[in-house]
Structures are given as structure tokens and as C-alpha cells.
Structure 1
Amino acid sequence: MTPKQLNFHFPAEFEKQTALWLSWPHKEASWPGKLHTIYNPYSEFILRVASHQKVCINVADEQMREFALLSLYNSTYGKSVSGIGKLLDNVKFYFHPTNDAWCRDHGPAFLVNRDTREKAIVDWGYNAWGDKYPPYDLDDVIPTEIGKALGMPVFNPGIVMEGGSVEFNGKGTLLTTTACLLNKNRNPHLNQSEIEKYLIDFYGVEHILWLGDGIVGDDTDGHIDDITRFVNEDTVVTVVEENKSDENYQLLQENLDTLKTMRLETGKQVNIIELPMPKPVIWEDQRLPASYANFYISNENIIVPTFRDSNDEKALSILQDCFKTRKVVGIDSTDLIWGLGSFHCLSQQEPAV
């Protein structure tokens, strides 16, 4: 039986969580020449969340665990925290070797049963965004390894899917993009209606909404978590570009126009809040996928990437208005984004029951 038939569903990220899941970054090729610079903002991300919920980190071995602990202690934020040991009590390491750090996409999709409150995991296939960055054999088995470690049942749909390509309101609606899910480098044997059937059966949703393209520089072929995010069951924030000559302007306007026509599973129109884009972030002549939409929602904080940009404060203020019971925290992501992703791409939430 499918998860939906068993009454499992994928909770929204803004619902209560047990843990944040991460895979410790170690691949030099993902941040060429800059890997050493990312541990400071990454450590702040971990410690901010560990102040109020568990953080689970996949590491290859004891040596990587020791390096991770040292990075946390020696980070700028770590040194500013009195009683960092208490925070680290909330950090747990699992010896699960990975190829890369993008846990949103290779990590487990945690489901909750509406009847029994039992948790389960979906282990979608993973091919590093269309076989762009082999090898990915270690990443591909991470959900099943975590299922074994936690004693949770694991469902295997047998097709490729990534966590960053789907967004949920927790009430039955799933938001995604045609640019990613219909790309022939993922599941070339499936058409749109067949993919929708997998989404419904394995995420336990009822209603699929499709946007078009993702932002320029996104090597995932258009993940939704860089453009449009649910902040509650009937409201999204969506990024817009103010500069009409910017290459993101038209595609983000088209996404905005499409959102305005959309209805939720209730038939209600989607509430839309516009979020600015930072100015282009360029490194070594490459446009990077810098977006304020790539934030992580924890139980008490909203961790938002910032880019030393004049729109940083505006974006943080808009998001603070969206999450009145949580504290919005901006963390400099200028170095992190050289890896072509930020805090949401690096993370996966485990819901509470």
C-alpha cells in the first residue's frame, strides 16, 4: 500500500519539528577554493537551531565528527554563546557517509500518519540533479540508512525526486515547477499526470500546483525553494525582481502571474506576499542562485540567507511580518551560495508527533 492509502502525509515545514537534519559539508568541488569559508555561517545555522530543537548531522567517521565539533566551538557565533556545551547537547552525529552536503535533496522525506502518529520515511531516488555531479551513490541511500537508525519504515517509490523541488502547505496542496519535475534528466519515462500520481501517493497530498521556471544560476533546473514558499496554509512568499533589465525579471513575473490564478485544495485563492531579490551575486564570472526564499523554518527561528545587499533588511522585515511568533535571523550566505545553494538546500526537517 502507498503512504497515502495508509493515511501518511508530509507536514508543512512551519509545523512543529523534532529535529533539523544535515549532512556535514566536505566536498571541495562544491565550493572550489571556498570550502573553508562556509563553516562559520554553517555553524551559526546549527547553533541557532540547536538552541531550541535537536540537530542531527550525517558524518563519514569520527574524524569528521571531531572536525565538526571544532568548527562549532571555534565559529564566531560559537565563541559568542555562553554555555555552548548545552547547545551541543542538542547536536547528534550519525555515521552515514555522504558524497555531498545537500540534505534537502538526498535526505529523508519524513511522513506522519494522521491516525497513529507513527512516522515513516520516503526514500526517493537521487541522481544529483540529472546526473550532473557523480558520484552520488552514498547520498542516494541516506534516507534508508536514517530509517534503519531511527527504526522507521521506509517507502521506495522507485523514481527520482528532490526535497527542494516540492513545497507543502500541510493541508493537501503541493507546489512545484515544470522546469524541474518535467525535466527529462529526472524521470524521462513519466509524463506530468504520472508524476502527479507519485506525488499524491507518496507525499499524501491531494492538490498539485505547477509554476514554471526557477531563477538564473540554479543548477537544479528550477527548484521551488528558491522562488516560492508557503509561510502558512494559505499564504506564500514569492521572489520578484525589480530591475526590468535583469534576466530574472520576466520569469519571476510569469511565476507571479501564475500564482495569482492558483487555488488551494479548499478552492481558496493563494495569498501572495512579494519578496525582493538581492542584486546579482557573481563569483568567478558565474551568476549564483542567491535568493531570500531559501530560508529554513525551525520551531523558534527563521534562518534567512543574506548577501551583503541593500535588500537584506527589507527581506528580513517582510519575513518577520510573516512569522510573528518566531525570530527571523539573517546569516551571511555570500560564501555558502558559491555552492549553488543555501540554508534550505542544506537542510531537512523531521516533524514532531
Structure 2
Amino acid sequence: MTFRMPPEWAPHERTWMAWPGPNATFSGDDLAESRGAWASVAQAVRRFEPVTVVHSPGQAESARELLGPDIDLVERELDDAWMRDIGPTFVTDGTRLAAVDWVFNGWGAQDWATWEHDEKIARHVADIAGVPVHSSPLVNEGGGIHVDGEGTVLLTETVQLGPERNPGWKKEEVEAEIHAKLGTTRAIWLKRGLTADYPPHGFGTLGHVDIVAAFAGPGVIVAHTQPDPSHPDHELCKENVEMLRSQKDARGRSLEVVEIPAPTVVKEDGKWVDYSYINHYVCNSGVVLCAFDDPRDEIAAGIFRRLYPGRTVTLVDARTIFAAGGGIHCITQQQPRV
């Protein structure tokens, strides 16, 4: 049987995360704040399913102190703490589980990134989970893909087709490799990601899709919109929504696009922000949703409650995570239950 990546709302065996250690992304007070934010997400997810956190040597004490006794810890060398991107993409054929190991090169070999250890984490996680590895020659990260579990995958041209990651690869070649590893048959491409996800705005991924658009069910996509016309993402988001509404998924369904307005805050410290509710995490019986101490937090939570009836929506302050370059989805990685 063909291996495929299940949708995020399918049952999970557990969630994997990585523990922040001192590096270019986290230093001084930022490290302490980041650890607190990562711990809040881990504890929110643990209400619904087991969580394993990978930590660097010498970091077990800090992790246990903040995470508490109910979260599993394993020690492996780390550079950074974005398990969505450095960890494996789990796939299944219905009876067996496997782990896709993409090539990781520091989000396009960015000058602030190091990845000597992170490029090996996918294999370490697969080994701990006891599953075989499917190696890919494609430079890719988990935040750069989103699937519906029924053959459709969302991608971004500036990620998989960017010269920083896959120079010389044609779109058809990228699609063929993605489909071969994920069991998908239809790719929907967004042109780019949000403005603050690119230099010179700080730490960024060069356009990950999981902050812009995500499947919330077969034929249903949640899409980030920026209501403030002064923000450079305002027009981009309008174009994304229009494009997505013109698309069909792998089963020929027209997509229902649910718009999720961005928080009211558009700048922090004089820089545009990419605060987004799209970067959420669906776990067993729950949804862990980014919060920003913003009037639109509860609006977004209400939308997700309607999209996921029967699941508890938990808001977790994600501003510290976004300051480091990502969100709740970026620091979590699901292991499907077989």
C-alpha cells in the first residue's frame, strides 16, 4: 500500500517538541521567556495526548522544572527548537508507520541559523519512535507543507522552489517528490508567505504555508487575512483567498475558504508582525490556538470551535514564539496513531 501523511485531525499517538537552548535565536532573557512559552504549549497539548520533548545535553533540569512530571524527555544534540521543521514527517500505509526525513539546511542556509545537529533530528526521532525512515533529497520542512489526508497538499513557491533550498529543481520535480513521500496527488501553490517571514524582518522561514493557510477538514481551508490596509500583507491575503477559492482539491471539490482575520496589532518595535491564528495545532480532542492578548483572539477561537465541534479550543499566548520566528504549529509535530 502507498504511504500517506494523515491530516492533522486524525488520531495521534503523541506529539514531539524540542526544548529551547542557548543559541542565536534564544539568549539571555529571551531564552527564559521562550522556555516558558514552549512549556505552556507542551502542557496544553498534554491535556489531550502524550508529549515527548527532545532536549540538548545539560538541559534536562531546566526542561523538567518547567514541563512538570507528565511529559517525556529524551536527550539529543540540538541547534534550535522548531520540531515541525527539523523533525520527521510521519506517514502511514494504514498498518505501518514510517518517517520522512527531508533535507534540512537552516531554512535556506540563513546567516543566523545553524543546523549541524538539527539536520539529524528527524532520524533520531524516528529511531526513538521505532519506525523506518524514508529519505528524501528535497530540502523541505514540516511547516512548508499542509495536507488534507485525501490527496491534496499546500505549498509555497518561495519555499520548495526557492534557490536557497532547491536550486535547479523544476516545479514538476518538486511535486513528484512531494507526492511520492506524502501520498498526495494534487499540489496547490501559494506564491509567497507573509511579509515578516522574510529578511530583513528577523528570524523567518522564507514563506512557510502553515502561517498563511491550512486545511481544517476535507475541502475546507482556513486562510489568514489582514484587515488593515496599511499592512503589506493586506493585498497578499486578498489574492490568496481569491486564488484558493478558484481551486479544486484532489477529489475535485471546490474549496471552502474560511477567512481568519489577523490580530489588531500590526507592528512591534517598529517592525511589521505576522501574528496569525492559522499557525494552530490540532491534537486529540483539542485545538491549541495562538493568542496575542488581542480583541480578535476570541473571534478566532469561536471560528475554530465551529470548525472542530467536540474539540476543546485552548488559547496559549504565542507572542514570545512569534518573536523567535514561528508559532504553535512550528514547535509541534504529530505522530499519527496506527
- With normalisation by structure 1, the TM-score equals 0.90
Segment drifting more, 152-161 vs 193-202: 152-161
Query: In the TM superposition, what whole-angstrom CA distance separates every residue of 1:239-281 from its partner, at most 9, and x where no partner exists?
Result: 1111222211011111011001100111110111110101345
Alignment of 1:79-90 (within 5 A): 85=69, 88=70
Question: In the alignment, what sits opposite 2:310?
Answer: 325
Of 104, 117, 131, 1:126 maps to: 104
2:139 maps to 160
For residue 37 of structure 1, give the secondary structure of its aligned residue in structure 2: helix
Q: CA deviation at 1:37?
A: 1.4
- The structural deviation recorded for 1:179 is 2.2
- Alpha-carbon separation, structure 2, partners of 1:108 and 1:130: 18
Q: Mapping of 1:205-284 within 5 angstroms?
A: 205-218=184-197, 219-284=204-269
**Cα distance between partner residues in 1 of 2:40 and 2:113:** 29
Superposition misfits of 4+ residues, deviation over 4 angstroms: none
The answer on 1:50 being equivalent to 2:46 is: yes
User: Equivalent residue for 1:22?
Assistant: 17
Contact 2:19–2:38 under 8 Å retained in 1: no
Separation (CA, whole Å) in 2 of partners of 1:316 and 1:42: 20
- Please tell me the residue identity of whatever aligns with 2:322: I
1:35 to 31, 50, 64: 31
Q: Distance in 2 between matches of 1:337 and 1:284?
A: 13
Write out aligned runs for 1:65-144 (5 A): 65-73=60-68, 85=69, 88=70, 91-114=71-94, 117-132=95-110, 133-144=112-123
Aligned to 2:55, which of 53, 59, 68?
59
Letter in 1 for 2:56: A
CA contact (8 A) 2:41 2:316 kept: yes
The Cα offsets for residues 54-102 of structure 1, whole Å up to 9 and x where unpaired, read as: 10111122x31221110124xxxxxxxxxxx5xx1xx211212110001
State yes or no: 1:293 paired with 2:288.
Answer: no
In 2: Cα distance, 1:135 partner to 1:29 partner: 9
Question: What residue in structure 2 maps to residue 191 of structure 1?
Answer: 170
Per-residue CA shift, 1:100-153, capped at 9, x if unaligned?
001111101111113xx1101111000111101332011001111122222211
For 2:129 and 2:278, the matched residues in 1 are separated by 30
Offset of residue 215 of structure 1: 1.0
What is the percentage of aligned positions where both structures have the same residue?
27
Q: CA RMSD in A?
A: 1.5
1:51 deviates by: 2.2
Query: Would you say the 8 A contact 2:16–2:332 is kept in 1?
Result: yes
How far apart are the structure 1 equivalents of 2:265 and 2:6? 33
- Which shifted more, 329-338 or 223-232? 329-338
User: Which amino acid letter does the alignment assign opposite residue 20 of structure 1?
Assistant: T
**In structure 2, distance between residues paired with 1:250 and 1:52:** 37
Shift in alpha-carbon separation, 1:289–1:31, aligned structure 2, 3 A = farther
Paired amino acid for 1:34? D
Q: Please give the alpha-carbon distance, in whole angstroms, between the structure 1 residues aligned to 2:75 and 2:169.
A: 35
Q: Deviations over 1:205-260 (max 9, x none)?
A: 11111112211111211111101111111111101111222211011111011001
Provide the rounded CA distance (Å) in 2 between the counterparts of 1:27 and 1:188.
Answer: 31
Partner Cα separation in structure 2 for residue 215 and residue 142 of structure 1? 27
Answer whether contact 1:31 1:338 (CA < 8 A) is retained.
Answer: no
- State the number of aligned residues: 330
SS of the counterpart of 1:305? strand
How far has the Cα of 1:40 moved from its partner? 2.7
| Structure 2 counterpart SS, 1:56 | strand
Partner secondary structure for residue 59 of structure 2: helix
Instruction: Tell me the residue number matched to 1:3.
Output: none
Contact residue 122 and residue 156 of structure 1 kept, 8 A: yes
Q: Equivalents in 2 of 1:320, 1:188: separation in Å? A: 41
State the one-letter code of the partner of 1:315.
A
Structure 1 counterpart of 2:170, one-letter code:
N
Displacement of 1:28 in angstroms is 4.3
